[in-house]
Structure 1
């Protein structure tokens, strides 16, 4: 626990839960749309599947998302307030999502998606920075465990809005906007005044140690690179899981693939909570990240050498659970190493590049390796990247 954090400065469990639910609302804002609703919208506009148009929309949107997350994190630093930007982003992104559902041309769709990404990151950037203002180091493991519900909520929302007969096609984006508001608003309404003054001081002042010792650039870079390396693997499996499974069993059903993905996310939630709580109790924030990165590498090696479906699925489950836990816990622990709360929003925007850049890098790796060497070569590369992430973290100073 930080020296300046008193026991009564710890956040109540209800606030941590509401915050995690709000982050889940953020996931619902983009997961169903980018994975299901956007491809369907393009199909309806173009009269059939159009991979090139989808690639253009997602590529431009990813660039805007990357820039906007940094910009609005920086703006929330300058204004010294987070919640108003979260509210503005929530409202404007919801309105734009509904507009996207009504778009009548590809040009209008691209413009709407770019504006939507801008406003969505007006909400997402300051939201995570707000956690850094409120949650002490002694609870960051628990927060990370709770954040594991976010991807599961995003996946479940995608299934819900596309469930046959549950929501009419023309109302799907409206349903998503309503769900997002329902999950994000409670913490904004009830969470006012929960910032902690000790968390607003640069860490070298807060802990009485030199900046070089406590928050050196190398520590931040190690944390950034380790997530980036794991995210490349995660993005690759997210995009090509079904293709890989069908390379082993040609008639493997897409619904089974989706079910495996959902099961992995669900199993990771209690395990993330257990490991996050353990890291708080034993004051070992990095240890679970090292273990998960190493296990992710093991799972990828198993996948690389799997010729039979049961072993292949086992390898993916090991990788998927380990990667999911890693990403959830890493998000909260990264807040620990940022040296200057006055730049927390900006720095977390840079951190967010670990989520967006891999989606740009990964397709090039796949096209370079899979046609000539198969998925085994790609998974061995991913395993090497995950192992490197573990090495970067295991050599991180113990006092982090």
Structure 2
């Protein structure tokens, strides 16, 4: 190995750490996906009966607000202490304990405060975990990191199917099973992950003549582009089954789950390929731009779909494009944050692009679809995705 090659190798993070980190990030998804999508609705329905949908909406709203503040707060605390691992470990233990303890909750009065406490503990893990990647993964590998992060939603969805497998575990035991799976996925990176130090990633950006324009403009554009795409993704996640049934009444929830599974599984190799390409060619924003553009085209196709086959095909185009976009965006965001000392806090503000759409879109969809139909909704979402594409096109090459 030459001195040059050795120098280049020192600037790259070990693949073993990247895979362990990706496993931990997927564990973060497993921590909330099966609970919020399957286990919590079951418990709320058991408590509230026919009014369970309304109760679930209010519970989800309160939890999302708590998650938003907690992600910012614990990210900031990990910045201030200069430590990520202790916060991640504490979040794993505390969120797991609270999840298991929910088996003992027997009323809505107790459930909602427990959900809020669990969200706080969960984001004690998620906030510092996201910031840790920014501390140790160099820009030359952020595309690969984004591709690996695409495993998170896929494994999150598969975990929901696993813990609800008939005969595997009782409703209460499912909560314990989720907590154990999360610990098994997150703890290895804390125990065995020894990332190479990257001092250059902890250095403040050099002073520039106009920091507001040069440093913050990419951050604002990346934030807004993700928000616009997330709005479209949140709307489709909640109402895809209803749209399929508006075209073909014979569509079942299992059919919709199968389409979701196809999108999640196929998006992983696509995201890995796109991420590796962006690393090799030093074009981190181009795959994001293409993803937003293809997502807009998929929504336009959905607005004009007349048969179930075309509806499924157009959704798959949208789903693959936005899944790759969101995975790569999560890693490339780390590239544009200008202040390493506030990386955790700043990523918490980026996390609002995940929580805010889920609070807004269900109500907007319910107001729009009954009057104008799904076609109007998809045209609106296509415009938002197209706007995200144009925003990214306007960014200088970074």
> In which range does the TM-score fall when normalised by the shorter chain?
over 0.9
Deviation at 1:50, TM superposition (A): 1.1
- Say if 2:250 is the partner of 1:248: no
Secondary structure of the equivalent of 2:396?
A: coil
Deviation at 1:168, TM superposition (A): 1.8
Partner Cα separation in structure 2 for residue 164 and residue 215 of structure 1: 55
- Say if 2:236 is the partner of 1:237: yes
Secondary structure of the equivalent of 1:50?
A: helix
Which residue pairs with 2:27 in the alignment? 25
Q: How does 1:258-337 map to 2 (within 5 A)?
A: 258-337=257-336
Deviates more, 1:49-58 or 1:79-88: 49-58
Partner Cα separation in structure 2 for residue 139 and residue 361 of structure 1: 34
Contact 1:20/1:146, CA 8 A, preserved across alignment: yes
Partner Cα separation in structure 2 for residue 79 and residue 138 of structure 1: 27
Which residue pairs with 1:108 in the alignment? 110
Which residue pairs with 2:377 in the alignment? 378
Structure 2: gaps spanning 5 or more residues = 1-6
Deviation at 1:47, TM superposition (A): 4.0
Which residue pairs with 2:349 in the alignment? 350
Partner Cα separation in structure 2 for residue 219 and residue 6 of structure 1: 27
Which residue pairs with 2:126 in the alignment? 124
TM-score, length basis structure 1: 0.96
Give the aligned CA root-mean-square deviation in angstroms. 1.4
Partner Cα separation in structure 2 for residue 364 and residue 243 of structure 1: 15
CA deviation string 1:290-343 (max 9, x = no partner): 000000000000000111111110100000000000000000000000000000
TM-score, length basis structure 2: 0.96
Which residue pairs with 2:3 in the alignment? none
CA deviation string 1:61-98 (max 9, x = no partner): 00000000000000000000100000000000000001
- Say if 2:45 is the partner of 1:50: no
Contact 1:64/1:114, CA 8 A, preserved across alignment: yes
Partner Cα separation in structure 2 for residue 328 and residue 260 of structure 1: 19
Deviation at 1:49, TM superposition (A): 5.5
Q: 1:388 to 1:288 in 2, by over 3 A?
A: same
CA deviation string 1:35-64 (max 9, x = no partner): 000000111222456111111111100000
Which residue pairs with 1:85 in the alignment? 87
Q: 1:368 to 1:196 in 2, by over 3 A?
A: same
Deviation at 1:193, TM superposition (A): 5.3
Which residue pairs with 1:167 in the alignment? 169
Which residue pairs with 2:387 in the alignment? 388
CA deviation string 1:223-243 (max 9, x = no partner): 000000000000001000000
Which residue pairs with 1:361 in the alignment? 360
CA deviation string 1:323-368 (max 9, x = no partner): 0000000000000000000000000000000000001111232123
Q: 1:354 to 1:286 in 2, by over 3 A?
A: same
Structure 1: gaps spanning 5 or more residues = none
Aligned residues: 392
Deviation at 1:153, TM superposition (A): 0.4
Partner Cα separation in structure 1 for residue 242 and residue 49 of structure 2: 25
Which residue pairs with 2:186 in the alignment? 184
Partner Cα separation in structure 1 for residue 144 and residue 214 of structure 2: 22
Partner Cα separation in structure 1 for residue 355 and residue 103 of structure 2: 24
